[in-house]
Amino acid sequence: MNPTEFVDALQAHGIELNQHQIAQYQRYYEKLIEVNQVMDLTNIIEQDQVYLKHFYDSLTLAWADISLQDKPLKLVDVGAGAGFPSIPLKIAFPQLKITIVDALQKRINFLNDLVIDLALEDVAIIHGRAEDLGKKGSSYRESFDIVTARALKAMPMLVELTLPLVKVGGELLAMKGSRVEEELKAASQAIPVVGGQVFEQVNVDLPNGDPRTVVIIKKAKGTPTKYPRKFSDIKNKTL
């Protein structure tokens, strides 16, 4: 998927990019490849693959939940790595208020530089862990409309790490591949324990046929104060 095909594919979903936004995606690609030479940000470096498997893939969230396209939602991206999916979403939908959380300082430095380079506003970059931000007493707990994570953890761990950050009535947008049904089954007990309810599974397969599903988990009730637990407990004894 070259940049022109990327723009056309978004048009097919009713998303129109202006020239400034198109230039921002190109600069994002250039910055990613430049920094990737000295820091391991991604194994995907060919332009066509970056546009397809990073940029386009990130934007599939916007047709799984169309409110991302025009509402000033507060979105937190947990374990964003090189900025996926939150930065591609922010470029296309600048009204979004983005918070990015990552535990590695080198990635935080890259993201801070990227946000400045792309002249993005309303983007906060936090060096930290989701289980710390979501704990009782944190100002971030249950403060976001949407939480998302891409290739972070399997669903049972993912919901405990992320749903405590979401306000009641908000949602987790979980980006999953071919094992989505297996993961949902494994998380069938964990999801309601932390206040969630599976709302919908939206098929967003990539144009090349790669399977993609966005699982929308609504925050139906407040998360009990004992969650999230310490990461070692989440990892060693999933709900």
- Model pLDDT for residues 26-83, shown as the tens digit of each residue: 999 999 999 999 998 989 999 999 999 999 999 999 999 999 999 999 999 998 889 9
Q: What six digits make up the tokens of 173? A: 């947008």
Q: What six digits make up the tokens of 71? A: 């509402």
What is the pLDDT averaged over residues 107-135?
96
What is the model's pLDDT at position 149?
86
Q: What six digits make up the tokens of 226? A: 């004992």
Banded pLDDT at 158 (limits 50, 70, 90):
very high
What is the model's pLDDT at position 238?
87
Q: According to DSSP H, which parts of the chain are helical?
A: 3-12, 19-36, 47-50, 57-59, 61-64, 86-92, 105-117, 130-133, 155-162, 180-186, 190-193, 231-236
Q: According to DSSP H, which parts of 61-214 are helical?
A: 61-64, 86-92, 105-117, 130-133, 155-162, 180-186, 190-193
pLDDT at 13 over 80: yes
Banded pLDDT at 17 (limits 50, 70, 90):
very high
Domains of the chain: 3-236 (3.40.50.150)
Tell me whether residue 229 is annotated as binding: no
- Give the pLDDT confidence of 166-194 residue by residue, as tens digits: 999 999 999 998 889 999 999 999 999 99
Cis upstream peptide for 3 (omega within 30°)? no
Residue type, 221: K
Tell me whether residue 150 is annotated as binding: yes
pTM surpassing 0.75? yes
Give the contacts of 201 (CB within 8 A, at least 6 positions apart).
180, 184, 213, 214, 215, 216
What is the model's pLDDT at position 33?
95
What is the model's pLDDT at position 12?
95
pLDDT at 154 over 90: no
What is the model's pLDDT at position 214?
95
What is the pLDDT averaged over residues 145-150?
93
Tell me whether residue 83 is annotated as binding: no
| Residues 89 and 57 sit within 8 Å (Cβ to Cβ) | no
Backbone angles phi, psi at 144, to 5 degrees: -110, 150
- Give the pLDDT confidence of 190-228 residue by residue, as tens digits: 999 999 999 999 999 999 999 999 999 999 999 999 999
Tell me whether residue 130 is annotated as binding: yes
| Residues 218 and 65 sit within 8 Å (Cβ to Cβ) | no
Tell me whether residue 79 is annotated as binding: yes
